[in-house]
Amino acid sequence: MKDLCEKVLQYRHSCKQFDENNKIPKENLDFILDAGRRSASSFGMEPWKFLVVQDQNLKQKIRPFCWDQPQITTCSDLVIILAKIEELKPKGDYVKKMFSRRPISQERIDAYIELYGNHLKDTMSSDENIYCWSARQCYIALSNMMNAAAAVGVDSCAIEGFEKENVEKVLKLDTSKYQLAVMLPLGYRVKEQPTQVRRDFDDVVEFI
């Protein structure tokens, strides 16, 4: 397990250009998306949706609003991670449904819903704040998908360099329901992987 993790950490890098003729087999693509689906999230809300753009014309339309980055159109599959908004509000059916999946008493489910509402009171006070919280969870799914991709020899590059509102318009999103959190183009590298540049362990970690 540790060896596999080490290999994944070494293999993953931000791929800047993909091989346009090399498509990810469905089995591996599904594996990567499923790693996102199974991610941890605060209160277990799973506040995400993954749009998988496979249509080349749509990728072309999105690219200008992503700093014209070549990853958008050269990738095999462009995963767009959306952050849930409206349904996360405490009084709604979705929140109830998410808590009710657990094998616990109705009393405890009600207590969880109350805790959720109280703890996230400020967070739920505006769609903008909900987006910030929801998108944070989406980044956990992003990370899991990047690592799952590396485990099956698929390259990726997290993309935050985009014009949010313009991409949302291209995708015709109802932004009261979902907003764009982050993107993940997936495919196969055409260039050698660069040497990883990182701060030192002791600079990053402090034992107290």
Ligand X SMILES: Cc1cc2nc3c(=O)[nH]c(=O)nc-3n(C[C@H](O)[C@H](O)[C@H](O)COP(=O)(O)O)c2cc1C
Interface residues toward ligand X, by CB under 6 A: 13-14, 16, 69, 157-161, 182, 196
160 in helix, strand or coil?
A: coil
Residue 145 CA neighbour count, 13 Å, CB half = 30
Q: Which is nearer to ligand X, 65 or 112 (CB)?
A: 65
CB of 197 to ligand X, least distance (A): 7
d(CA 128, CA 137): 15
Q: Which is nearer to ligand X, 62 or 95 (CB)?
A: 62
Closest residue to ligand X, Cβ-based?
161
Contact 50, 80 (CB under 8 A): yes
d(CA 55, CA 141): 23
- Segments in 19-86 forming alpha helices (H): 26-37, 56-62, 71-74
Instruction: For residue 154, count other CB atoms closer than 10 A to its CB.
Output: 27
Q: Which is nearer to ligand X, 85 or 181 (CB)?
A: 181
CB of 157 to ligand X, least distance (A): 5
- As given in the structure block, the two tokens for residue 15 are 């791929």
CB of 193 to ligand X, least distance (A): 8
Query: Which residue, chain included where needed, has tokens 């749509």?
Result: 58
CB of 100 to ligand X, least distance (A): 33
CA nearest to 5, candidates 201, 147, 144, 121: 147
- As given in the structure block, the two tokens for residue 117 are 């509402």
CB of 15 to ligand X, least distance (A): 8
Q: Which is nearer to ligand X, 130 or 181 (CB)?
A: 181
Q: Which is nearer to ligand X, 68 or 110 (CB)?
A: 68
Q: CB within 8 A of 126, min separation 6: which ones?
A: none
CB of 114 to ligand X, least distance (A): 33
Q: Which is nearer to ligand X, 124 or 152 (CB)?
A: 152
